Homo-oligomer: A and B are copies of this chain.
Amino acid sequence: MTAGAGPLVIFTPSGRRGRFEDGTTVLDAARRLGVDLDSVCGGRGLCGRCQVRPGEGEFPKHGITSTGGHLSPRGADEAEYDRLRGLATDRRLGCRAAIHGDILVDVPPESQVHRQVVRKGVPVRDFVIDPVVRLYEVEVERPTLETPGGDLARLRASLQREWSLDADALEFDLDVVRALQPALEAGAYRVTVAVHDGQAVIAIWPGLHDRALGVAIDVGSTTIAGHLADLADGAVLASDGVMNPQIRFGEDLMSRVSYAMLHDGGAVELTRAVRDALASLVTGLAERVGVDRDDILEITLVGNPIMHHLVLGIDPIPLGSAPFALATDGPVRTTARELELPLRPGARAYFLPCIAGHVGADAAGAILSQTPYLRDEITLLVDVGTNAEIVLGSRARLLAASSPTGPAFEGAQISCGQRAAPGAIERVRIDHVTLEPRFRVIGSSRWSDEVGFAESTRRTGVTGVCGSGIVEVIAELFLAGVITADGTIDGSMAARSPRVVPDGRTYSYVLYEATTGADATDTADAMPARPRMAITQNDVRAIQLAKAALYAGARLLMDHLGVDSVDRVELAGAFGSQIDPLHALVLGLVPDAPVDRVGPAGNAAGTGALIALLSGEARREIEGVVRTVEKIETAIEPRFQEHFVDAMAFPHKTASMPHLAAAVELPPRLAVGGEAVPRAGRSGPPNRRRHAVAASTVVASSEGEP
């Protein structure tokens, strides 16, 4: 800036302004004013990151008359850039446009380093990108006999000179030192380096390199999902999911921990399996969009505590029994190499912090995505898995707990249950008069009573009922009066419908019976089609146990927070995204809330991983929030037992449900409050460690009920 009478330059939207010597480039002026204008090539007209839009006309607010004519005309570099990559007529390259008169310069969002991410594709909240990895192209002095020092020292000097980096503080990976001289040679002493977190130089390329990619991964116990994103502009280039191959060691988490306990080297096998899947996920993502895997410089990960430990190669056995102590709950910064990912050696990995022994980095990711800590209203955020992770609170306070729901919501322990996969029934409606069902299966867009349903399910068959289907069918049976408030399948309904049938000393509801031959599957790897699926009394009991545990956990947090209602319920994860909010309320999975404010949050954990991938600021934010979250251990809270018992009924008796009552016609008995508590409830919630066994024992003992 000159104090004198040079042209006045005003940048929008920042409003920063200053007078500069005639001939100063727009990029230089921006840098000197601290305006956020991107550049990788260091002002050589190559990268196109510094595009700006000169203002045309009078700008009374800014007291300036501006015209593109006050900049030097487009030169050869801009023409070449336009030819190669396109440059809109109202745009200039900031590094090539010299200022010769007063001018207003607009920096469009895509030219800012810290740009706003606009929702599209992946449903991500608005946030500002704060790149953890930045690229810098520099020219390095050639060595001579007179200057016999190291090339690395000369590279440091260039980074200091051209980019004002604190070069002495930069640490260089040994791999970068190894690649330095070949890169200088190939790039005629121009190279691009990737700087991680302002501290470590993790990659180097000859000449200009302007692509830095990252992958955000949600390591679920069933599915591992990843987003491949451009670290500079936040664009999600591809999303994909792979099965977690650990499933072969056990469907649910606790059975995998048991595997580790019972087999020498079992934990190592589990680690190898999940890392293999991570490797094929990132490889597949890169191949899908045809990018070089070597351009992936950063990985972020979320997952429940057991996945967290297994991915990092930490023995998960201590997580399998009280007091469920994590090896570490802080964020873990490591390298892709440490996780055996097939990326360049310098690629870094960041695992979000865990919250407690059963509330993992996935919950931290969901919190980062849904930001209950930024709202005044009380949000209940629930992610249902073998354990439900429950977060409750607002800007003022945030609490977290996990509830041992068991795997019933994932389709396990249900006679016709299966996990959410093509062929599974996921939606059910039951006619309140005829008691006839209609349903939809994953992989088909048609309801079972629509024309073409059989044809549309020919490849998958109808193979079972997944978690959301089970919740819906039981909620519908309750609304139709087939299931009573205490969870009994009402045998008297057998008179009204042939679908209600005796089943030992209890009754079942036949949801589905195959018409001969219609469901034969023609793919070898599909689940076998079932000829007949019924909802049994035991199935209802399993769902009662699971939903009571989930509700009791939420209710316990409400007690701690001192509230009797919540303003908003967000259901995260695969199950949470599938179930109908109304059915969730009808069954009493979650406390009563305005029906239009109960909804799916999508894969909030994965979205949180994506946000953390694109923003160092977001990492600091979630690390700070996690430290303040109050952890409630359900296992040692007597009130949890009470809430659990009280929550067994449909809907439960612990709270009036004005919002639900306003939204749906509940069976008449409910209006006066069902007092019956099924006997199974007296067993209390299943012990966490022995969950699988305990829950099935409880269910078995309830078989004798009338």
Q: How long is the Cα–Cα vector from A328 to B178 in the complex, in angstroms?
A: 9
Q: How long is the Cα–Cα vector from A148 to B445 in the complex, in angstroms?
A: 45
**Interface: A490 (CB within 8 A):** no
| A178:B338 contact, CB within 8 angstroms | no
User: Which chain B residues lie closer than 8 Å to A144 at the CB level?
Assistant: 323
* With A332-B177, A636-B145 as contacts: A151 and B312 at CB distance below 8 Å: no
Q: How long is the Cα–Cα vector from A181 to B327 in the complex, in angstroms?
A: 6
**Interface: A153 (CB within 8 A):** yes
**Interface: A182 (CB within 8 A):** yes
**Interface: A180 (CB within 8 A):** yes
User: Which chain B residues lie closer than 8 Å to A357 at the CB level?
Assistant: 148
| A325:B633 contact, CB within 8 angstroms | no
A531 to chain B, nearest CB (A): 47
| A148:B313 contact, CB within 8 angstroms | no
**Interface: A86 (CB within 8 A):** no
Q: How long is the Cα–Cα vector from A329 to B153 in the complex, in angstroms?
A: 7
User: Which chain B residues lie closer than 8 Å to A151 at the CB level?
Assistant: 325-328
Partner of A329 from B152, B313, B328, B354 at Cβ < 8 Å: B152
**Stretch of A39-47, A102-110, A314-322 contacting B (4+ beta carbons < 8 Å):** A314-322
**Interface: A356 (CB within 8 A):** yes
A424 to chain B, nearest CB (A): 35
User: Which chain B residues lie closer than 8 Å to A354 at the CB level?
Assistant: 150
A318 to chain B, nearest CB (A): 5
Partner of A356 from B148, B174, B328, B334 at Cβ < 8 Å: B148
User: Which chain B residues lie closer than 8 Å to A148 at the CB level?
Assistant: 323-326, 356-357, 631, 633
| B313:A178 contact, CB within 8 angstroms | yes
Interface residues of A in 497-522 (CB under 8 A from B): none
**Interface: A670 (CB within 8 A):** no
* With A150-B354, A338-B174 as contacts: A180 and B327 at CB distance below 8 Å: yes
Interface centre among A146, A148, A338 (most CB of B within 10 A): A148
* With A149-B631, A330-B152 as contacts: A323 and B143 at CB distance below 8 Å: yes
Closest B residue to A338 using CB positions: B174
**Interface: A238 (CB within 8 A):** no
Number of copies: 2
Q: How long is the Cα–Cα vector from A149 to B323 in the complex, in angstroms?
A: 10
Q: Can you list, as one digit per residue, whether each of A222-263 has a CB less than 8 Å from chain B (1) or not (0)?
A: 000000000000000000000000000000000000000000
Closest B residue to A334 using CB positions: B174
**Interface: A635 (CB within 8 A):** yes
* With A181-B318, A313-B174 as contacts: A150 and B330 at CB distance below 8 Å: yes
User: Which chain B residues lie closer than 8 Å to A327 at the CB level?
Assistant: 150-152, 177-178, 180-181
Q: How long is the Cα–Cα vector from A146 to B322 in the complex, in angstroms?
A: 11
A601 to chain B, nearest CB (A): 24
Partner of A149 from B153, B174, B338, B356 at Cβ < 8 Å: B356
Q: How long is the Cα–Cα vector from A146 to B182 in the complex, in angstroms?
A: 56
Q: How long is the Cα–Cα vector from A174 to B315 in the complex, in angstroms?
A: 12
* With A148-B633, A174-B312 as contacts: A181 and B325 at CB distance below 8 Å: yes
Q: How long is the Cα–Cα vector from A182 to B309 in the complex, in angstroms?
A: 14
* With A151-B328, A330-B152 as contacts: A145 and B181 at CB distance below 8 Å: no
Q: How long is the Cα–Cα vector from A545 to B151 in the complex, in angstroms?
A: 32
* With A327-B151, A328-B153, A329-B150 as contacts: A177 and B356 at CB distance below 8 Å: no
Q: Can you list, as one digit per residue, whether each of A122-160 has a CB less than 8 Å from chain B (1) or not (0)?
A: 000000000000000000000111111111110000000
Starting from the known contacts A149-B326, A152-B329, A174-B334, 13 additional A-B residue pairs (CB-CB under 8 Å) come to: A145-B324, A145-B633, A148-B324, A148-B325, A150-B327, A150-B330, A152-B330, A153-B328, A174-B338, A177-B314, A178-B313, A180-B328, A181-B314
Q: List 29 A-B contacts (CB under 8 A).
A: A143-B323, A145-B324, A145-B635, A145-B636, A146-B633, A148-B323, A148-B324, A148-B357, A148-B633, A149-B326, A149-B329, A150-B325, A150-B326, A150-B327, A150-B328, A150-B329, A150-B330, A151-B325, A151-B326, A153-B328, A153-B330, A174-B313, A174-B334, A177-B312, A178-B312, A178-B313, A180-B327, A181-B325, A182-B315
- 10 smallest beta-carbon distances between A and B, as pairs: A150-B329, A143-B325, A152-B328, A150-B326, A148-B356, A150-B328, A143-B323, A145-B636, A145-B633, A145-B323
